Amino acid sequence: MVMGVGDMIERFGMVSGIGRAVGNSAGYTVVACCGMILFLVLRRSMLHAIGFTYSEIIPLHRWLGASIVGWSTVHAIGYITYLGNEGHLQSDINFYDTSRGTLNMMGVFAYGAVCLLGIGAIPQIRRRCYPLFMSTHRFFTTVFFVGMIAHYPSPMLWYYLLPTIILFLVDRFVPKMMRARTVMPEATCSLNADADIVRMIFTSPEPMKPYYPGDYITVQIPKIGTLYHPFTIASYWPEDPYSMTLYIRTFRDSKLSWTGELATRCGKDDKRIRVRANIDGVFGDRRHDYL
């Protein structure tokens, strides 16, 4: 049963009642935000159908993530105030209690994970250490969700989390599986040394899904790294639905340049080589007609 602030104060006293009421409300707010946070990073969602692009939605994901960190902090402060005032802080947050104490420790781990998520997402840190950001972001997101579910194992939690988790997993993995079955696992790669431009051609034994001017795909070269990099499609689908061409400008002046590393693995224009590559997409903005 949900209790109001007045009921909390009447039952637990002024300080404990307000602390528990604030912590309880903030906790439910975190759950509601978590029900939307993954929805805002879907590559294919209903928001795109009504005119929003992926680049326009991502800032909403960041701000919602910041609000989750904030409300989680309020939740922690509220319940620490309540437990401390009641003298239950040590007895209700531990590993040796078989009920609430252990569940609250899961909440401590979840809060630590979400704080590290927030620190890693600070723009200056994210941009300087992007590969580290991506790997830790996924790991700590998993820790946060698992910790939150273990902290509050209520069926109500699944009403908020299960739909968005399923949509996220389908959005991330199903298209990659479909592309892996239709697009050849190796791309033809050649380098125009004079222009410092790499040409990559992906082929398929059957017609590819139609793509349009301005669309892009993300490319991963396993021998270079695990990150996917976005590139605009240069070819025109009606002319050759069995292939897809990318032109990639290289930046070999940097030792950490992904495109520079790709250029060293490509052959010349007169001697193309094949490079193992994975792709995800096609993505694009359907609001503009480029033709």
CATH code, domain with 247 = 2.40.30.10
104 and 11 housed in the same domain: yes
162 and 88 share one domain: yes
**Do residue 70 and residue 214 come from a single domain?**
no
Please give the pLDDT value at position 253: 58
Which residue range forms the structural domain that includes residue 245? 183-283
Which range has highest mean pLDDT (37-51, 53-67, 246-260, 267-281)? 53-67
> For position 33, what pLDDT does the model report?
92
Q: Tokens for 195?
A: 């222009």
Same domain membership, residue 165 and residue 73: yes
**How sure is the predictor about 286, in pLDDT bands with cuts at 50, 70 and 90?**
low
For residue 285, the model assigns a pLDDT of 63
Backbone angles phi, psi at 88, to 5 degrees: -110, 15
291: in domain: no
Q: What's the DSSP call for residue 192? A: E
Q: Tell me if 134 is assigned to some domain.
A: yes
Q: Is residue 290 part of a domain?
A: no
Same domain, 49 and 153: yes
Q: In this structure, are residues 202 and 214 in contact, taking their beta carbons and an 8 Å threshold?
A: no
Q: What is the mean pLDDT of residues 209-228?
A: 85
Residue ending a domain, choose from 179, 195, 213: 179
Residue 198, phi then psi, degrees to nearest 5: -100, 135
Quote the percentage of the chain above a pLDDT of 90: 20
- Find, among 183, 181, 171, 200, the residue nearest to 258 by Cα: 200
pLDDT at 270: 61
Greatest Cα pair distance, the chain, in angstroms, is: 83
218 and 196 belong to one structural domain: yes
Sign of CA dihedral 197, 198, 204, 209: negative
Tell me how many domains the chain contains: 2
User: 159 with 243, same domain?
Assistant: no
User: Which of the four pLDDT bands, split at 50, 70 and 90, describes residue 290?
Assistant: very low
Which residue, 179, 206, 230, sits at the end of a domain? 179
* Class of residue 277 by CB neighbours under 10 A (exposed 0-12, middle 13-18, buried 19+): buried
Looking at 147, 179, 211, which one is the last position of a domain? 179
Cα 155 to its chain centre, rounded Å, is 25
* Domain contains 195: yes
Dihedral of CA atoms 125, 130, 132, 135 in degrees, nearest 10, equals 120
Q: Which residues contact 241 (CB under 8 A, 6 or more apart)?
A: 207, 208, 210
Round to whole Å and give the CA distance between 233 and 283. Answer: 10
Q: Say whether both 239 and 109 belong to one domain.
A: no
Q: Are residues 24 and 164 in the same domain?
A: yes
Mean model confidence pLDDT for the chain: 83
288 within some domain: no
